[in-house]
Amino acid sequence: MNFPAKIHRDSEHLEIDIAESLRLLWKQRGIVLLFSALSTAVAVTYVLLAQPQYKVQSYIRPVASASLDTLNESGLYKLKPEDALRRVGSSMESYDVRLTFFKLNPELLAPLQVPGQTLEELFEKFNSKAFTIDAIDPKKTANLSEAIQLGVEYPAGVDGVAIANKFTDFVVKREKEKVESDLKTLIANRTEDIERKLISKKAAYDAEKDSKIAELLEKDQLKKETLQDELKALRQQLQSRRQNRIKQLDEAITIAKKLGIVTPTTPSALGDSNETRQGNMIRTEVSNQQIPLYFMGQSALEAERGTLVSRNSDDFTEPRVDEIQKELSLLTNNRQVALLRQRSNEELFLKGLGEIREELAHLKSLHIDFDQFNLVDIDKIASPPEAPIKPKKALIVGIGLMLGLLLGLMVAMVRGITLLKEQKNEA
C-alpha cells in the first residue's frame, strides 16, 4: 500500500538531482567553454600544420582480343587479354619493378629526400604506403570486364600524377619488351631446333646413301667374283676337255697307223678293201653305233691334234664364256652408284624437306610491330586531384569540438558535485 508513495518520492528526488546538476553545469559553463575552445584550437592547429596528402588513380583494362591476334596467330605465343592484364598488374606489385622505376626517375622523389638519405631508404618509406593495386572483378562488382586500379598517395610537393602515369607507362612498356623478348627467344629456339632437325635428316640421308652405295658395290663385287670363279672353272674345264681330246686323238692315231688307215673310211669299207670292184658302186652304211675315232684316218687325226696342241685359248669354243665376259663388262660401272654420287642438291631427296622449308620460311618472315602493339588498354590516366584526401579538416575540427565539450562537461560535473558535498558538510 505504501509503494506508490515511495515511487513518487524517488521520482521527485531524481528531478531535483537533474535540476541541481544542470544548475551546477551552468555555473561551471566557463570550464566547459574553455575545454571546448582548447580542444577545437588544437584540432584547428593540427589541420593548419598537417601536410596535405593527395591521391590519384588510373584504370587499366584488357584490350580487345583482335589486338592480340597478330601475336597469337604466330603459332608460338598464346596470350589472352585477361592474362596480359594480370601480367601488368603483377609487375606493378613487384618491389623490384618499382625500385627500378624510381632509380630511372629519381627526380620524382627528390622533394621528399633529406640530406644523407639514400634513394633506397627513401623508396622503402614511400613504397610502404604510397601504392595500392586493386583488381576489379566483374563477378563481384558492377563492371562488365576486369580492370586494375592503380592508386598513388603522396604528400604535397610531390608530382603524384607524373608518378602514376609514368609508372604505368613504364610497366606496360616493360611487359611489352618482355613479350617481344620471349617471342624472339621462341623463334630463335624453334629455328635452331628445325635446323638441327634438318642437319639430322641430312646425316641420316648421307648414312643411308653411303649404306646403299656400299650395298650395291658389295652386290656387284660378289657377282663379279662369282662370274670370275665361274669363268676360271669353265676355262679349266675347256682346257681339260682339250687335253682329253688330244689323248683320244693320240690313241686313234696309233690305231689308224696300225690299221693303215690314212684317210677317213668306214668299217665296211675297211673290210672290203681287198675285194675287186667292178663298175660304179654306191655304199650306204646304217649303224646305231658310233664309228670309232680312228676311222677318221691318220692324216685327219694328226691335223686335228696339231691344231689342238697349238691352240692358245679355248674361250671361243664355249658360248658361256662370252656371256660371262659380257656380264663382267657391265659390272665395271654401276650407273646407280654413279648417279647417287653425282647428286648436286641432295636436300631435294630428304623426306619432309618441304615441311621443314615451309616452317623455316614462316619463322624467318615472322615479324610483329610491337610499336603498334597494345598489351593493355589504359582506360583512365591519372589527373590532378581537386582536394587532398588528408587531413579532413571539417571532420577533425568537429571531433576536436566534441571531445573538448565532453571533457569540459565531465570536469564541470565533477567539480560541481565536489562543491555540493562541501556545502552539505558545512551545513
Nearest-angstrom CA–CA distance, 201 and 38: 93
Q: What is the pLDDT of residue 14?
A: 40
Q: What is the pLDDT of residue 365?
A: 77
Nearest-angstrom CA–CA distance, 279 and 7: 203
* Assigned domain for 250 exists: yes
User: How far does Cα 426 stand from its chain's mean position?
Assistant: 100
Mean pLDDT of 395-410: 80
Asked whether residue 2 carries a pLDDT value surpassing 50, the answer given is no
For 309, the domain range is 192-271+290-362
Please, what is the end-to-end C-alpha distance for the chain in angstroms? 35
Asked whether residue 236 carries a pLDDT value surpassing 90, the answer given is yes
Mean pLDDT of 245-265: 89
Mean pLDDT of the chain: 81
* Assigned domain for 211 exists: yes
Q: How many domains does the chain have?
A: 1
Q: Classify the phi-psi angles of 137: left when phi > 0, otherwise alpha if psi is within -120 to 50, otherwise beta.
A: beta
* Assigned domain for 91 exists: no
* CATH value at residue 337: 3.30.1890.10
* Assigned domain for 118 exists: no
Q: What is the pLDDT of residue 9?
A: 45
Q: What is the pLDDT of residue 53?
A: 80
Is the pTM of the predicted complex or chain greater than 0.75?
no
Q: What is the pLDDT of residue 11?
A: 44
* Assigned domain for 50 exists: no
- What is the residue-wise DSSP string for 261-323? --S---HHHHHTTTS---S--------SSPPPGGGG-HHHHHHHHHHHHH-S--GGG-HHHHH
Mean pLDDT of 407-416: 76
Q: What is the pLDDT of residue 5?
A: 44
Most confident of 336-345, 393-402, 406-415: 336-345
Write the pLDDT tens digit of every residue in 48-90.
666 678 889 998 998 888 778 878 777 788 888 888 889 999 9
* Assigned domain for 385 exists: no
Contact 256, 262 (CB under 8 A): yes
Residue whose C-alpha is closest to residue 375's, from 59, 63, 60? 63
Asked whether residue 105 carries a pLDDT value surpassing 90, the answer given is yes
Beta strands (DSSP E) in 172-240 are: none
Mean pLDDT of 16-35: 70
* Buried b / exposed e along 139-152 (16+ C-beta atoms within 10 A): eeeeeeebbbbbbb
Beta strands (DSSP E) in 316-382 are: 376-380
Write the pLDDT tens digit of every residue in 304-358.
899 989 989 888 888 999 999 999 888 888 888 888 888 887 777 777 777 888 8
* Assigned domain for 352 exists: yes
Nearest-angstrom CA–CA distance, 192 and 197: 8
**What's the angle, vertex CA 357, arms to CA 356 and CA 360, rounded to 5?**
85
* Assigned domain for 3 exists: no
Nearest-angstrom CA–CA distance, 143 and 138: 5
SS3 of 156, please? coil
pLDDT-above-70 percentage for the chain:
85
Write the pLDDT tens digit of every residue in 150-173.
999 888 888 989 999 999 999 999
Q: What is the pLDDT of residue 285?
A: 52
* Total residues belonging to the chain: 427
Find the range with the poorest average confidence among 37-51, 65-79, 191-205: 37-51
Asked whether residue 382 carries a pLDDT value surpassing 80, the answer given is yes
Nearest-angstrom CA–CA distance, 217 and 223: 10
Q: How confident is the model at residue 7 (pLDDT cuts 50, 70, 90)?
A: very low
Asked whether residue 40 carries a pLDDT value surpassing 60, the answer given is yes
Nearest-angstrom CA–CA distance, 174 and 375: 11
